[in-house]
Amino acid sequence: MRKNITLIISCMLAVVSCRPPCDGPALLSDQPVDRSVKNYFSNIAGMPVGAYYYPEHWQVSQWERDLQRMASLGFTFTHFAEFAWARIEPEEGRYEFGWLDTAVALAGKYGLKVVMCTPSPCPPAWLTTKYPEVLITNAKGIVQRHGTRLHANGMNKTYREMVTHVVTKMAARYGQNPVVWGWQIDNEPHLSTLYDYSETSQKRFRQWLTKKYGTIDSLNKCWGAAFWSMTYSCFSEIRIPNAEEGGGNPHALLDFNRFTADEIASFIRYQSNILKQFISPNQFITTNYAYYKFLPTVNLFLNRPDLDFASHTMYLTNTFLNYPDGDLACRLGSGMELAFSTDMARSVCGVTGIMELQPGQINWGAYNAQPLPGAVRMWIWHTWGLGDKFVCTYRYRQPLYGGEQFHNGIMETDGITVSRGGKEYVKAIAELKTISAFCDPSASVPGSYKSRTTAFLWNQDNLWDITIQPHSNRFDPWQHYYTYYQKLKTMGCKVDFITEQDSFDVNRYPVMVAPSYSLVNERVIGKWKKYVENGGHLILSCRSGQKDINGHLWEAPLQYPVWELIGAKILYNDQLPSSLNGKVSMDNEQYTWSVWSEILEPLSGAEVWASYNDQFYSGAPAVVHRRMGKGSVTYAGVWSVTHDLEEQILRKVFIRAGAQILELPDYVFTDWRDGLWITVNYSSDPVQAPLSPVSKVILGNPLVQPGDVCVWKD
């Protein structure tokens, strides 16, 4: 996996056969362009902080006041235009850039850089009225109409033509403007309905399948179409699998998820290729992934070659799962979600920034608690500790109309009073500037931190496969991944997400975790074996190796391909109702399980680490460990209720691997960046930061209160 981007674009790709005429500079030359991250961040002290601003929402007479005030508060960049297509192109082919020129000039006047956005998430009414075929259709056959966002199909030919025109115009106009820092493609790319069932997608899905399988016989075999007489005689007979229409073939659903992710990635790639023809190499290209549990159809890694880096968005008090226990949880938010999202986005290209971070109370949760005083500041510091290169908040001014009226901004509704959350941004900005004097970006990573840097093997197919066939309605793959991720964070681990295409580098990653890695083939098993033989320590959890890459069970004993690797047979699995817990013990400690268990039979040379204490298979192994070459493999065939068993397993592996691990409470995070250590506290109780006897506190107090931060130097 690449830790530093040295992304070289070898050539500029053609986007359409007939490009519309454009204003501004000509196309860049076809010579290779250096789009290294150092060009975007190397000359910036500290961590830049920005704010979304929507000139189209406010009177022109207020723009200069707002942007001047934004700069005076310490913000260094702003964010324009992702929802402004109707203002940019009020009717087909007629462009109005004067207002945006003015806004960009005013930003530059006060020293603010601009992140310019392509406006593709919100097509104007004239477009969807004249070309209704661009609209997406939900599973019930209802066409999504004008009045929302992300309701057009990026793969529709007509829509692509319209997007080509507006993005080309914008790139030509602002691609050499020194005020423009970089470009964001679209906004939180996904579909408003998650999936599209329009005729455009029906046709493209058939084309995608034809390209993948070549022949209908091959598709029938891979889809198991002999079951329930699903056999097709030609690709034109295929429709998108849709539960509303009775479609439930798990292999077809797996392919439809793959197709949808490919289509979303293709739309980003398409726009990236347009931008690269016009913009300066000093302007970056990114998009702001909203990588939440409820947006499973986006695969960040598919756009690794197309972006200079992936950025992300995060709203922490959104009533999602993974809050800590305690009365303050709803006010402190889910630091685990923030950390997971940051680590995932950073892993795409080796660097990331957070493009949307909430400024205070939000408006779209099931309930919207006010953040605890200090929490907003803590979130900013947490992003710094996780390695984000910048933070941008949504938004500068609280809107007075529209669907997000109750979403706080940096300013109150009068536009001139700094909000409570805004004051915390101002405080954090000042602190970040002060602390930059203590930072050393060239500092060597401490050996203790390096020893616990962990690879989290990721394949979106596994997520889809288990979601399609959970075998228990309580087996949530996201929560299973979160179980292992959160417990890694209690040990102070830096976590990098890697894919099967990346190097399984034992020198970089002494430990690799692959929870519920259900779909396997000989290639990934071979890479695991080599990694372990070379000294790596691999941790697999229940359901790993259940199926082949088509989602078929093996014509062999259950999970047979991983038996040799893990040193055990997997005899069968069990699930309990929510009202019943089973018991499992490890190292004289007893734990409970309910959602999933696998009954193991160790092979020669394997150690039994945990066994079941009840049920009809009492005494059977639940967790096994084996040494292999210079490394080891640990297989956890059970998912505990409190997740303490998983923590015990991880700690034992890390200790045996010689890693120097921390002992942090859940939802307390400690990281290292630029020569400094940081601890943030999302729990409801004070926590002692893990300082050494020689530590010097730079910011905060070693006894970290809920919603607070401590930064120190060893």
According to DSSP, the residues that pair with 91 across neighbouring strands are 94
Q: For residues 380, 383, 384 and 389, what is the CA-based torsion angle, rounded to 10 degrees? A: -110
Residue 703 makes CB contacts below 8 A (sequence gap 6+) with: 686, 687, 688, 689
pLDDT tens-digit series, residues 387-416? 999 999 999 999 999 999 999 999 999 999
* 198 and 84 both lie in a single domain: yes
- Residue 708: which CATH number? 2.60.40.1180
Q: 82 in a domain, yes or no?
A: yes
* 160 and 294 both lie in a single domain: yes
* 513 and 582 both lie in a single domain: yes
Print the domain residue range for 489: 453-656
Which ranges in 441-512 belong to alpha helices (H)?
A: 447-451, 460-468, 477-490
Residue 207 makes CB contacts below 8 A (sequence gap 6+) with: none
Mean predicted lDDT score pLDDT of the chain: 93
* 489 and 587 both lie in a single domain: yes
Domain end marker among 630, 656, 682: 656
Any idea how long the chain is?
714
Domain end marker among 384, 404, 437: 437
Residue 295 confidence (pLDDT): 80
∠ CA 190-195-199, nearest 5°, is: 115
According to DSSP, the residues that pair with 285 across neighbouring strands are 183
* 426 and 472 both lie in a single domain: no
pLDDT for residue 489 is more than 70: yes
Q: 68 in a domain, yes or no?
A: yes
Q: 113 in a domain, yes or no?
A: yes
Residue 320 binned pLDDT confidence (cut-offs 50, 70, 90) = low
Domain end marker among 409, 437, 465: 437
Q: 93 in a domain, yes or no?
A: yes
> What distance, in Å, lies between the first and last C-alpha atoms of the chain?
29
pLDDT for residue 27 is more than 60: no
Question: What are 369's two structure tokens?
Answer: 């608690």
> How much of the chain is helix, strand and coil, in % rounded to 5?
35, 20, 45
* 402 and 524 both lie in a single domain: no
* 136 and 172 both lie in a single domain: yes
pLDDT tens-digit series, residues 273-282? 999 999 999 9
* 528 and 458 both lie in a single domain: yes
Listing DSSP states for 203-249 in one string gives HHHHHHHHHHHSSHHHHHHHTTTTGGG---SSGGG-----GGGT---
pLDDT tens-digit series, residues 61-101? 999 999 999 999 999 999 999 999 999 999 999 999 999 99
Residue 26 binned pLDDT confidence (cut-offs 50, 70, 90) = very low
Q: Average pLDDT of 367-387? A: 96
Residue 173 binned pLDDT confidence (cut-offs 50, 70, 90) = very high
Question: What are 227's two structure tokens?
Answer: 């079951």
Are the CB atoms for 573 and 547 separated by under 8 Å? no
Q: 25 in a domain, yes or no?
A: no
Are the CB atoms for 554 and 497 separated by under 8 Å? no
How far apart, in whole angstroms, are the C-alpha atoms of residue 112 and residue 67?
8
Q: 220 in a domain, yes or no?
A: no
The total of structural domains in the chain comes to: 3
pLDDT for residue 521 is more than 80: yes
Q: How far is CA 434 from the centre of its chain?
A: 30
* 407 and 526 both lie in a single domain: no
* 474 and 333 both lie in a single domain: no
* 475 and 417 both lie in a single domain: no
- Residue 645: which CATH number? 3.40.50.880
Residue 7 confidence (pLDDT): 33
Are the CB atoms for 68 and 451 separated by under 8 Å? no
Q: 221 in a domain, yes or no?
A: no
pLDDT tens-digit series, residues 461-470? 999 999 999 9
pLDDT tens-digit series, residues 540-572? 999 999 999 999 999 999 999 999 999 999 999
* 193 and 292 both lie in a single domain: yes
- Residue 138: which CATH number? 3.20.20.80
Q: How far is CA 672 from the centre of its chain?
A: 21
Q: 109 in a domain, yes or no?
A: yes
